[in-house]
């Protein structure tokens, strides 16, 4: 599939180069490839998306499939979602589809819902320099030029294209005629693997700083390069990301890290010095190669999970990214605690450390409360997984619902903190059992059977004195390795 697409782009390379020259000269230049001149097929568009486009057209409006889905189809990737744009206003779209609802404040959009599948329908946007300011005042900027509301509607496709972020994201597919429409040299950039802003990159980042993150995300996701002019302002404008709402940033960070390209995202954020803006608490670890290796290792493991169709959860991501910070905070509190007469429990100390770190992180990313709870449990479990001598506790730990998630992190840590290896080995069979039991429960749920009948866990061969054979010298060695790790991380002794 991919080679067929590349072959098509190669065949029209001259045409694309000419079109790109025109775009550079005039700012835009329309290129239309008729049905058969490009490899897109109607059958690649899901039925519900076709239904939405057809219904809008039947009601007398223009409607196109647009954005990332067309970009992804053209390079042989499975689109994450499909977007439709139309000349109908959101209110008109609502009237066409009873199964729809308004969402968004910054951009008012309509979600058309079919059995859990959501198709996003946006009304044509208008270009910033059009005469729309006179038409109404629905575009509102903050002092820095950032658009806080942008509900000015465009008159046509051309204006809509100008409001989109990158050239490769402004390709339109007309399902009725089969035409593929490009106004900004998007096909040219797609053929060369380039992410380039539509219009002046600096102005576009001022309007919406999240575009900087999106630019880097597409580089990571598609393996593309940023055009020089689109890369250049990022260093200067990175601080403006602090103005973006923390709820939006939380979503963007999850998109960057949880959908199969976390490792590449991390590397590129680091290269552009954005990590310290997205995770301010990490500033003190940025020169620490051990820290980077651990995070990279964890992210490559969640990228792998994604390719195996396993879910990646935000609490895992934040627990990993901020783990070093947690350790530091925890040990500091523990030292303080040791000097008090009434000392706090390990759980309480972990909770306090977690609260502080979340408070630091919250102005950037609004982590939902449920996720904070899970992060706290994952961190507390890191400490509890060292408690392997108490049988009753061991049983309780292995039965916690976040045990497997926490152990995933623990196992990753063991690669970098060698003293953890024997502990990891101890828990491994519990993990296997827990995973097997979850798999069976899922199977049972799928079959709508009662989970009550699940076989009870047997712990027989798992228990016993795991460290009973450890000599004093081995124990000393284990503790020294633990200290060495803490020193490497600039943590407490």
Interatomic CA distance for residues 164 and 152, integer angstroms: 13
> By CB under 6 A, is residue 164 in contact with ligand ATP?
yes
Q: Which is nearer to ligand ATP, 28 or 211 (CB)?
A: 211
The residue within the footprint of ligand ATP, chosen from 108, 211, 325, 413 (CB under 6 A), is 211
From Mg ion, ligand ATP, none, which one binds at residue 477 (CB under 5 to 8 Å depending on kind)?
A: none
Give the shortest CB-83-to-ligand ATP separation in angstroms: 5
Q: At what angle do helices 210-222 and 262-271 cross, to 10 degrees?
A: 130
> By CB under 6 A, is residue 28 in contact with ligand ATP?
no
Q: Which is nearer to ligand ATP, 162 or 377 (CB)?
A: 162
In this structure, the number of other CB atoms found within 10 A of the CB of residue 78 comes to 8
Q: Indicate the burial class of 20 (C-beta count within 10 angstroms; 0-12, 13-18, 19 or more).
A: buried
The residue within the footprint of Mg ion, chosen from 23, 28, 68, 319 (CB under 5 A), is 68
How many Å is the Cα radius of gyration of the chain?
Answer: 27
Q: What number of chain residues touch ligand ATP (CB under 6 A)?
A: 13
Give the shortest CB-99-to-Mg ion separation in angstroms: 20
> By CB under 6 A, is residue 210 in contact with ligand ATP?
yes
| Phi–psi pair at 233, nearest 5 degrees | -75, -10
> By CB under 6 A, is residue 208 in contact with ligand ATP?
yes
> By CB under 6 A, is residue 185 in contact with ligand ATP?
no
User: Of 64-72, 187-195, 264-272, 409-417, which segment contacts Mg ion by CB under 5 A?
Assistant: 64-72
Give the shortest CB-245-to-Mg ion separation in angstroms: 20
Which residues are catalytic, by number? Answer: 81, 83, 165
> By CB under 6 A, is residue 165 in contact with ligand ATP?
yes
Q: Which is nearer to ligand ATP, 214 or 411 (CB)?
A: 214
The dihedral over CA atoms of 154, 160, 165, 171, expressed in degrees to the nearest 10, equals 170
Give the shortest CB-80-to-ligand ATP separation in angstroms: 4
> By CB under 5 A, is residue 45 in contact with Mg ion?
no
From Mg ion, ligand ATP, none, which one binds at residue 165 (CB under 5 to 8 Å depending on kind)?
A: ligand ATP
The dihedral over CA atoms of 410, 485, 420, 411, expressed in degrees to the nearest 10, equals 30
> By CB under 6 A, is residue 184 in contact with ligand ATP?
no
Give the shortest CB-219-to-ligand ATP separation in angstroms: 13
Residue with CB nearest ligand ATP?
Answer: 68
> By CB under 5 A, is residue 70 in contact with Mg ion?
no
Interatomic CA distance for residues 405 and 305, integer angstroms: 12
> By CB under 6 A, is residue 68 in contact with ligand ATP?
yes
From Mg ion, ligand ATP, none, which one binds at residue 208 (CB under 5 to 8 Å depending on kind)?
A: ligand ATP
Q: Which is nearer to Mg ion, 71 or 204 (CB)?
A: 71
**End-to-end Cα distance, the chain:** 56
Residues 6 or more apart whose CB falls under 8 angstroms from that of 300 comprise 262, 263
> By CB under 6 A, is residue 105 in contact with ligand ATP?
no
Q: Which is nearer to ligand ATP, 1 or 336 (CB)?
A: 1
> By CB under 6 A, is residue 39 in contact with ligand ATP?
no
Pair 466, 388: CB distance under 8 Å = yes
> By CB under 5 A, is residue 81 in contact with Mg ion?
yes
Interatomic CA distance for residues 257 and 250, integer angstroms: 11
The residue within the footprint of ligand ATP, chosen from 58, 80, 95, 483 (CB under 6 A), is 80
> By CB under 6 A, is residue 489 in contact with ligand ATP?
no
Q: Maximum distance among all alpha carbons in the chain? A: 83
> By CB under 5 A, is residue 251 in contact with Mg ion?
no
Using CB under 6 A as the criterion, what x/- string covers residues 233-272 for binding ligand ATP? ----------------------x-----------------
| Matching residue, tokens 């040990």 | 331
User: Of 68-76, 211-219, 247-255, 432-440, which segment contacts Mg ion by CB under 5 A?
Assistant: 68-76
Where on the chain is the footprint of Mg ion (CB under 5 A)?
A: 68, 81
Where on the chain is the footprint of ligand ATP (CB under 6 A)?
A: 67-68, 80-81, 83, 164-165, 169-170, 208, 210-211, 255
């Amino acid at each position: 599939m991919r080679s067929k697409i590349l072959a098509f782009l190669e065949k029209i390379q001259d045409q694309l180069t000419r079109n790109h020259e025109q775009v550079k000269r005039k700012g835009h230049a329309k290129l239309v490839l008729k049905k058969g001149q490009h490899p897109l097929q109607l059958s690649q568009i899901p039925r519900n998306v076709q239904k939405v486009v057809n219904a809008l057209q039947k009601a007398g409006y223009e409607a196109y499939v647009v954005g990332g889905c067309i970009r992804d189809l053209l390079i042989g990737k499975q689109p994450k979602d499909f977007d439709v744009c139309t000349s109908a206003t959101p209110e008109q779209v609502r009237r066409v589809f009873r199964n729809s609802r308004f969402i968004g404040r910054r951009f008012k959009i309509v979600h058309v819902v079919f059995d859990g599948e959501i198709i996003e329908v946006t009304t044509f946007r208008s270009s910033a320099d059009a005469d729309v300011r006179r038409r109404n005042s629905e575009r509102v900027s903050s002092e820095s030029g950032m658009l806080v509301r942008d509900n000015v509607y465009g008159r046509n496709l051309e204006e809509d294209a100008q409001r989109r972020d990158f050239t490769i994201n402004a390709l339109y597919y007309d399902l009725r005629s089969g035409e593929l429409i490009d106004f900004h040299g998007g096909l040219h950039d797609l053929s060369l693997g380039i992410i380039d802003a539509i219009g002046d990159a600096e102005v576009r980042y001022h309007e919406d700083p999240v575009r900087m993150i999106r630019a880097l995300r597409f580089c990571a996701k598609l393996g593309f390069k940023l055009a020089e002019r689109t890369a250049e302002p990022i260093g200067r404008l990175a601080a403006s990301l602090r103005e973006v709402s923390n709820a939006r940033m939380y979503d963007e960070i999850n998109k960057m890290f949880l959908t199969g390209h976390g490792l590449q995202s991390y590397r590129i954020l680091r290269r552009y010095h954005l990590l310290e803006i997205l995770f301010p608490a990490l500033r003190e670890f940025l020169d620490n190669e051990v820290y980077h290796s651990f995070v990279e290792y964890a992210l490559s493991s969640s990228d792998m999970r994604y390719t195996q169709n396993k879910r990646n959860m935000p609490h895992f991501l934040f627990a990993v990214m901020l783990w070093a910070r947690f350790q530091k905070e925890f040990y500091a509190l523990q030292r303080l605690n040791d000097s008090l007469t009434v000392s706090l429990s390990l759980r309480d100390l972990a909770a306090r450390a977690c609260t502080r770190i979340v408070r630091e992180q919250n102005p950037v990313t609004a982590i939902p409360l449920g996720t904070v709870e899970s992060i706290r449990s994952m961190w507390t479990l890191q400490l509890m997984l060292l408690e392997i001598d108490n049988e009753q506790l061991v049983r309780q730990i292995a039965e916690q619902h976040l045990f497997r998630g926490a152990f995933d992190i623990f196992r990753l840590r063991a690669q970098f903190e060698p003293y953890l290896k024997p502990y990891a080995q101890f828990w491994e069979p519990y993990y296997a059992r827990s995973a097997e039991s979850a798999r069976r429960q899922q199977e049972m749920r799928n079959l709508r059977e009662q989970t009550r009948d699940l076989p009870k866990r047997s712990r027989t061969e798992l228990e016993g004195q795991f460290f009973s054979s450890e000599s004093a010298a081995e124990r000393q060695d284990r503790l020294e390795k633990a200290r060495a790790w803490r020193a490497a991380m600039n943590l407490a002794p």
